[in-house]
Amino acid sequence: MQLARIIGDIVATRKDDNLAGLTLLVLQPLAADGSAAGRTLVAVDAVGSGVGETVFFVRGKEASFPFYPTEVPADAGIVGIVDRWDLG
């Protein structure tokens, strides 16, 4: 899992039928100190998060697991909302 901040949402008039009713969000991956780390990406939301929140996301086949048995065509999926984190 990786940390990211949601910086936008996607509006799509046409998309795969298995994505119907799902929210697509734009993520900025974060380093442990909260700074931007890497390129932005689009992820499918499985937890009801929104713009401005910090979230956990997964990449690869695991991105579709929260939507089982539907086979969602996704390379990234949001699986948790971060309330806070501390650096030891």
Residue 88: pLDDT over 80: no
Distances (CA, A) of 48 to 21, 67, 79: 12, 13, 9
- Residues whose CB falls within 8 Å of the CB of residue 72, separated by 6 or more in sequence, listed in order: 18, 19, 22, 44, 63, 64
How does pLDDT run across 41-66, given as a tens digit for each residue? 999 999 999 999 999 999 999 999 99
Residue 86: pLDDT over 90: no
Domains identified in the chain and CATH numbers: 2-11+22-81 (2.40.50.220)
Exposed / middle / buried, residue 72 (Cβ in 10 Å: 0-12, 13-18, 19+): middle
The whole-angstrom separation of Cα 68 and Cα 29 is: 25
How does pLDDT run across 3-19, given as a tens digit for each residue? 999 999 999 989 999 99
